[in-house]
């Protein structure tokens, strides 16, 4: 007979324990252990002699190689993030804050694929079919080959998949789907793990490109066990402030493409619109002739993006000054302030320093260091930077400016947007010819960059 066993599972990382613990021993999260029941069925042991593999091992040189076929959508930004399009049989996980636009993005993608003649099955566990139809009316996503179902039972979903035989499947969301054979509540660690494993088998065996929508925790990570991200082929995060109109789609895992690409969208009344030139969007509200404001050329995958950096340095009344950064690593900001103090003689120990990337973009490459240093120095000296300068370069601990990659693409993007000067590492000038009509200033130290930018 089946025996019901009780265990406690961490909702953050999936660590199992026989008793309840206030602090998870795996991820050290507090009050994350939840009780779950599982049914244990005693079966006779199976020896190794009865195990037969369906496929035999073969030499890697005898395996046929080739590019994976891809299904291109009409959304070029989504194709860029996925590495060229949707791969048949792939399992994609999309996460994001509530109300950020995940369902809107996937419904528009489903419509784009259905227009190309593919069968698309959109299964929603959070909205009724009427609610989905209302969103489709607003987005203009009405196509005969787009099928919609409101269901959370795994068995009913299997019947729908067998009936429709879709080429593209959307599950919104994985936390609402449950398997009746698993004795735990929907959204629990066991349910999410088993349902994801089932959809992975469906994707691989039937060759159906499957997209799972995942809820996120208050820290911004996808809810459920960490195993969930290991099982899928691609993990996408849909980011952005709810009060802003633009959204950023970022890949943090991709077995069929790069993880450095981003897609930028703008939310409108008729859905998400692609932003083909994000630099103009991020610089549209930039003030001119203001201290602490600089423009940096950053690389997001293969795309150069020009973003505004803003710094504010103000005298503090407290013994310990504040250091706050948005869009840039806090430790990197502290390193740049230390270099300015030690190598350039700026007394910032009595100053609060705030650094912000305008537009809510997150910059994590070292080429942003020099622009951040110039912004902080500009605000500290109250000396405005020139409005048509672009600055990029990596800053070392001795105050030197190191070379960065793809300098030519950054300069061409600055020239295209009408900038007049580029302050960049001197060692990055080798091997290419700067375009005409833009002045290039090569610097080797932070002091030289401050002299060129602030005079």
Residue 103 marked ligand-binding:
yes
163 labelled as ligand-binding?
A: no
On whether 96 is known to bind a ligand per the annotation, the reply is yes
- Separation between Cα atoms, residue 441 and residue 449, nearest integer Å: 9
Q: Is 99 annotated as a binding residue?
A: yes
CA distance 348 to 316: 10
Among residues 386, 387, 379, the alpha carbon closest in space to that of 311 is found at: 379
**Residue 342 labelled as part of a binding site:** no
| Positive or negative torsion for Cα 200, 203, 204, 209 | negative
Q: Residue 208 corresponds to which tokens in the numbers above?
A: 């159906």
Cis peptide before 445 (omega within 30 of 0): no
101 annotated among ligand-binding-site residues: yes
β-sheet bridge partners, residue 88: none
Which of 365, 362, 421 has its CA nearest to residue 391?
A: 421
Cα-Cα end-to-end distance for the chain: 84
Is the C-alpha dihedral spanning 381, 384, 386, 388 positive or negative? positive
Report the alpha-carbon angle 8-13-18, nearest 5: 20
Determine whether the annotation assigns residue 71 to a binding site.
no
Structure tokens at 314: 């103000």
Pairing of strands 351-357, 16-17: unpaired
Binding-site residue ranges:
96-103
Binding-site residue ranges for ATP:
96-103
């Amino acid at each position: 007979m089946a025996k019901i066993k009780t265990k406690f599972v961490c909702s953050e990382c999936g660590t199992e324990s026989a008793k309840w613990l206030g602090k998870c021993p795996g991820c050290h999260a507090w009050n994350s252990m939840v009780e779950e029941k599982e049914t244990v069925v005693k079966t006779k042991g199976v020896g190794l002699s009865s195990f037969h593999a369906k496929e035999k091992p073969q030499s890697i040189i005898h395996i046929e190689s080739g590019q994976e076929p891809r299904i291109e959508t009409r959304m070029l930004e989504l194709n860029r993030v996925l590495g060229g399009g949707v791969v048949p049989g792939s399992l994609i996980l999309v996460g994001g804050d509530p109300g950020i636009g995940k369902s809107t993005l996937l419904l528009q993608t489903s419509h784009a694929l259905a227009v190309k003649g593919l069968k698309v099955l959109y299964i929603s566990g959070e909205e009724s079919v009427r609610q989905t139809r209302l969103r489709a009316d607003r987005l203009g996503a009405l196509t005969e080959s787009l099928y919609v179902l409101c269901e959370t039972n795994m068995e009913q979903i299997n019947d729908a998949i067998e009936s429709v035989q879709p080429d593209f499947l959307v599950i919104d969301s994985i936390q609402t789907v449950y398997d009746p054979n698993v004795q735990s509540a929907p959204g629990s660690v066991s349910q999410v793990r088993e349902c994801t494993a089932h959809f992975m088998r469906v994707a691989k065996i039937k060759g159906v490109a499957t997209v799972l929508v995942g809820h996120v925790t208050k820290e911004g990570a996808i809810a459920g066990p960490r195993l969930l991200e290991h099982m899928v082929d691609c993990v996408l995060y849909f980011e952005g402030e709810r009060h802003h109109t633009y959204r950023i789609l970022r890949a943090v895992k991709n077995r069929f493409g790069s993880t450095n690409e981003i897609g930028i969208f703008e939310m409108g009344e008729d859905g998400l619109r692609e932003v083909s030139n994000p630099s103009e969007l991020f610089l549209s509200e930039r003030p001119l002739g203001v201290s602490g404001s600089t423009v940096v050329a950053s690389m997001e995958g293969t795309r150069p993006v020009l973003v505004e950096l803003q710094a504010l340095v103000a005298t503090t009344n407290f013994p310990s000054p504040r250091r706050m950064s948005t869009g840039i690593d806090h430790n990197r900001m502290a390193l740049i302030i230390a270099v300015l103090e030690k190598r350039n003689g700026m007394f910032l120990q009595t100053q609060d320093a705030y650094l912000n990337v305008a537009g809510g973009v997150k910059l994590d490459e070292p080429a942003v260091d020099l622009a951040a240093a110039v912004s902080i120095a500009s605000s500290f000296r109250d000396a405005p930077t020139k409005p048509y300068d672009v600055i990029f370069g990596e800053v070392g601990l001795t105050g030197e400016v190191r070379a960065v990659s793809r300098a030519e693409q950054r300069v061409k993007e600055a020239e295209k947007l009408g900038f007049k000067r580029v302050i960049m590492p001197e060692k990055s000038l080798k091997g290419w010819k700067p375009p005409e009509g833009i002045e290039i200033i090569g610097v080797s130290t932070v002091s030289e960059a401050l002299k060129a930018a602030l005079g």
